[in-house]
Amino acid sequence: MGITDETLKRRLDGFRKRMRDKEIDMALLVEPDNQYYVSGFRAISYSRPIICLVYLNSLQFILPELEKDHASQSARTDELYVYHEIACHRGKDTQFHRPLEHLLDRQPASSTIGVEVDTLPAALYCMLHERNFIVKDMGPDLMEMRMKKDQEEIHWIKQAGVLSDLALESSLHHVQPGISELELDSFGDKKLLEAASQQFPDQLIGFADWTCSGITRSFMPHLASSTRKLEKNDVVVHSRQVWVNHYRAENERTFLIGRPSNEQKYCLELAIEAQAQAMQVVKPGVCAKDIDLAAYHVFEKHGYGEHVQHRTGHGLGLTEHEEPYLRFDNELQLEEGMVYTIEPGIYVPGVGGFRHSDTVIVTNNGFESVTQYPRSLEDMIL
Amino acid sequence: MGITDETLKRRLDGFRKRMRDKEIDMALLVEPDNQYYVSGFRAISYSRPIICLVYLNSLQFILPELEKDHASQSARTDELYVYHEIACHRGKDTQFHRPLEHLLDRQPASSTIGVEVDTLPAALYCMLHERNFIVKDMGPDLMEMRMKKDQEEIHWIKQAGVLSDLALESSLHHVQPGISELELDSFGDKKLLEAASQQFPDQLIGFADWTCSGITRSFMPHLASSTRKLEKNDVVVHSRQVWVNHYRAENERTFLIGRPSNEQKYCLELAIEAQAQAMQVVKPGVCAKDIDLAAYHVFEKHGYGEHVQHRTGHGLGLTEHEEPYLRFDNELQLEEGMVYTIEPGIYVPGVGGFRHSDTVIVTNNGFESVTQYPRSLEDMIL
């Protein structure tokens, strides 16, 4: 469980090299996945801010008292600044602002501070701005570093993939008219937690899933599961996500109950074919956009181009969506160790939504899919 | 499912009154719960930003194409600006920035823009700052409005409470050495989804739960569940959260397996007593801090004050943590319709963590607990 010291050292060395290249004196990180990536510590934070400060020669955290022991155990940190919320500590720091102000006041005038401009709250940005610090974005640096996975990361992503297949099998095995979307999900949840408990002792496992059933709901690509009951002849898009020690795999299947219409079968075949075409393109050196376009052209060629609503896939790892994004306009070249979903879909009014999603790793000469559940039309008519 | 037109109109009227009081011309909201509160629309957004713009006479959204149909169905909006990510739309807006820039350019010079400074990303703040708009924080306004729940909100919170009791009962019924924390959770998950599917057709239900078992893990108040297996004589803090149509209840119990030590029994009794004392104080007009101090004094009086790590509770509703926060320094006066947890806890090295949490509603002369699962020491020795 957790990241080895060697890996963390390599990451911090790489991050600090980028800091030096940009002449950054200190980086202030708020995004929990980025904090975990450089420190090994990830908390459930809710209303209590946690701030990670990376200096060229130390790593420090500002955090609430209830995370102190957790951070002491898992963060590779040089200093913890704790703020309190209990009466007996009323003379100490009782909000995160004071220790942060204290640290910023110690920073030489006109220092350059690295931040994540897409997630740093405006309130914190203003604290830096008022002190006349130069602010530079390091969000893209972290995204670039995280985009290519190392062996430890790939190991956990593969385990997540194996568990997601088991969950999918259990959920699809229990499909029948009358059970709700949420009940369908829960069969997979239970199976995966049983299997995870046997196979991976003392690890952190998590999951998310949603099911969009029927013509109206499957037409919308992103909906949380509801208590709607499956009906005879429904089209259903079932999405399963699993993470092992914070590393994720995504696994989605569209299935048809009973006697689907010919157009529903045709649309699902197109989605399967588009995914297969996109997979064939994957290898190092190819651009992200080439994968997107390979899928899109299948739909377009058959007259369904206008029913595409979203790109072909997205990177994943610590975060559910990260680079590389498989979009028509992303020139990024793929490299060995990148991980992303391939999930082209079409959404046809009055017919339904059709999308399989698999998580693939770029290898030195092609790709490996960490999710292996059957994809064919025959397997998807239940 | 969803919010009635009448309720949304009342909320928007109230929000716009606050805008006028602060001389705000337009509010730019990014926080998903705030967006839902004023519009009825809540999406799974991940990497695709969704921006809600509230003008004095209209409500508009900037969103990705895949949310267009979803928003059309649930948002009470006057205008949707859609951005695209597909090759055939390459001539249109393909990121959220362009429609936002377009709308900001149309805004009169030196307009005043309302924002949520604690969640607005620095990148968006800079767009406003560069245009010389005056920026005012409306985060506290939304928090104040949301703090007091209306009848619709209380209805869903109560249903969430009922479901959380069922889940808790099922999880605790299955406690035995050898099952993992995640398996313990999954019994409750399954039960609640079955019950929800029967009792609340066509609704959105969600849940989160974590279990911290054993002396070392229960000592840390906030940890995600792991595959650690329960052992004979473990102390276990089990946290169950359920939401119905986005409205939440929290329900936590600490239980002891087998033959707990005398100090473990004593600590749990103290936590139970502290919670009971805190509940007795609840009624309109009392300050948030009075509830916190009522609980804290129980621990302090018995020599356990130093083992408190966190405040006595937090408001909840759409968000897991919101006002009122039950802290020693919060002078906020309680009002009928406020909803929060009461969850005093102690964490004793070598002994374990001890905390029950219940969700209560302030009534006109006291309180009602929406979570009802037994709390006594006898009920907690399994």
CA distance A323 to chain B (A): 10
**Cβ contacts of B46 on chain A, cutoff 8 Å:** 314, 320-321
Of B185, B197, B228, the CB nearest to A183: B197
3-state secondary structure of A24: coil
Nearest C-alpha in B relative to A41? B223
Is the Cβ pair B88, A305 closer than 8 Å? yes
CA distance A86 to chain B (A): 6
- Best residue of B328, B331, B343, B354 to probe chain A, by most A CBs closer than 10 Å: B328
Report the DSSP pairing between strands B134-137 and B79-83: unpaired
Residues B57-72: b if buried by 16+ CB within 10 A, e if exposed: eebbbbbbbbbbbbbe
Q: How far apart are CA A216 and CA B335, in angstroms?
A: 41
Q: What is the pLDDT of residues A177-199, one digit of tens each?
A: 999 999 999 999 999 999 999 99
Q: For residue A345, give both structure tokens.
A: 């879909």
**Cβ contacts of A118 on chain B, cutoff 8 Å:** 121-123
Section A201-222 average pLDDT? 96
The architecture of the domain spanning B5-146 is: 3-Layer(aba) Sandwich (3.40)
Report the DSSP pairing between strands B352-355 and B345-348: antiparallel
Local confidence pLDDT in tens for the 382 residues of chain B:
678 999 999 999 999 999 999 999 999 999 999 999 999 999 988 899 999 999 999 999 999 999 999 999 999 999 999 999 999 999 999 999 999 999 999 999 999 999 999 999 999 999 999 999 999 999 999 999 999 999 999 999 999 999 999 999 999 999 999 999 999 999 999 999 999 999 999 899 999 999 999 999 999 999 999 999 999 999 999 999 999 999 999 999 999 999 999 999 999 999 999 999 999 999 999 999 999 999 999 999 999 999 999 999 999 999 999 999 999 999 999 999 999 999 999 999 999 999 999 999 999 999 999 999 999 999 999 9
Q: For residue B206, give both structure tokens.
A: 């969600």
Q: B15-23: list long-range contacts, CB under 8 Å, 24+ apart.
A: B15/B54, B15/B141, B15/B142, B15/B145, B16/B54, B16/B56, B18/B138, B18/B141, B18/B145, B19/B54, B19/B56, B19/B114, B19/B138, B20/B56, B22/B112, B22/B114, B22/B136, B22/B138, B22/B141, B23/B112
Q: How far apart are CA A338 and CA B292, in angstroms?
A: 49
Q: What is the pLDDT of residues A41-88, one digit of tens each?
A: 999 888 999 999 999 999 999 999 999 999 999 999 999 999 999 999
Q: Where are the beta strands (DSSP E) in chain A?
A: 26-29, 51-55, 59-64, 79-83, 112-115, 134-137, 205-213, 235-244, 247-256, 313-315, 322-326, 339-342, 345-348, 352-355, 358-362, 367-369
Tell me the count of A-B CB pairs closer than 8 A. 215
A156: left (phi over 0), alpha (psi -120 to 50) or beta: alpha
Is the Cβ pair A118, B121 closer than 8 Å? yes
Is the Cβ pair B115, A122 closer than 8 Å? yes
Domain ranges of chain A: 5-146, 148-380
Is the Cβ pair B44, A223 closer than 8 Å? yes
Residues B176-193: b if buried by 16+ CB within 10 A, e if exposed: eeebbbbbbbbbbbbbbb
Is the Cβ pair A328, B186 closer than 8 Å? no
CA distance A10 to chain B (A): 27
Phi, psi (degrees; rounded to nearest 5) at A248: -110, 150
Nearest C-alpha in B relative to A315? B47
Nearest C-alpha in B relative to A319? B46
Residues A338-365: b if buried by 16+ CB within 10 A, e if exposed: bbbbbbbbbbbeebbbbbbbbbbbbeee
**Cβ contacts of B206 on chain A, cutoff 8 Å:** 224
Nearest C-alpha in B relative to A293? B87
The answer to whether the CB of B273 falls within 8 A of the CB of B302 is no
Is the Cβ pair B44, A309 closer than 8 Å? no
Of A66, A94, A135, the CB nearest to B309: A66
- Best residue of B28, B86, B239 to probe chain A, by most A CBs closer than 10 Å: B86
**Cβ contacts of B308 on chain A, cutoff 8 Å:** 86, 88
Of B85, B202, B306, the CB nearest to A327: B85
Q: How far apart are CA A231 and CA A198, in angstroms?
A: 35
Report the DSSP pairing between strands A112-115 and A26-29: parallel
CA distance B138 to chain A (A): 12
A225: left (phi over 0), alpha (psi -120 to 50) or beta: beta
Q: How far apart are CA B332 and CA B315, in angstroms?
A: 12
Is the Cβ pair B328, A87 closer than 8 Å? yes
Is the Cβ pair B126, A115 closer than 8 Å? no
Same topology for domains A5-146 and A148-380, yes or no? Answer: no
Q: What is the pLDDT of residues A223-245, one digit of tens each?
A: 999 999 999 999 999 999 999 99
Is the Cβ pair A309, B86 closer than 8 Å? yes
Is the Cβ pair A229, B329 closer than 8 Å? no
Residues A146-156: b if buried by 16+ CB within 10 A, e if exposed: bbbbeeebbeb
- The CA-to-CA distance between both ends of chain B, in Å, stands at 38
**Cβ contacts of B64 on chain A, cutoff 8 Å:** 310
Number of Cα atoms under 13 Å in the Cβ half of residue B347: 22
The answer to whether the CB of A218 falls within 8 A of the CB of A231 is no
Q: What is the pLDDT of residue B189?
A: 97
**pLDDT tops 80 at residue A2:** no
Q: What is the pLDDT of residue B1?
A: 60
Q: Over chain B, what HEC string results?
A: CCCCHHHHHHHHHHHHHHHHHCCCCEEEECCHHHHHHHHCCCCCCCCCCCEEEEECCCEEEEEEHHHHHHHHHHCCCCEEEEECCCHHHCCCCCCCHHHHHHHHHHCCCCCEEEECCCCCEHHHHHHHHHCCCEEEECHHHHHHHHHECCHHHHHHHHHHHHHHHHHHHHHHHCCCCCCEHHHHHHHHHHHHHHHHHHHCCCCEEEEEEEEEEHHHHHCCCCCCCECCECCCCCEEEEEEEEEECCEEEEEEEEEECCCCCHHHHHHHHHHHHHHHHHHHHCCCCCEHHHHHHHHHHHHHHCCCHHHCCCCCEEECCCCCCEEEEECCCCCCECCCCEEEEECCEEEECCCEEEECEEEEEECCCCEEECCCCCCCHHHHEC
Is the Cβ pair B43, A310 closer than 8 Å? no
Q: What is the pLDDT of residues A273-302, one digit of tens each?
A: 999 999 999 999 999 999 999 999 999 999
CA distance A85 to chain B (A): 6
- Best residue of A1, A31, A47, A244 to probe chain B, by most B CBs closer than 10 Å: A47
Regarding the domain delimited by B148-380, which CATH topology (the fold level of the hierarchy) does it fall under? Creatine Amidinohydrolase (3.90.230)
Report the DSSP pairing between strands B79-83 and B59-64: parallel
Of A70, A87, A193, the CB nearest to B186: A193
Is the Cβ pair B117, A126 closer than 8 Å? yes
Q: For residue B340, give both structure tokens.
A: 């929060």
**Cβ contacts of A46 on chain B, cutoff 8 Å:** 314, 320-321
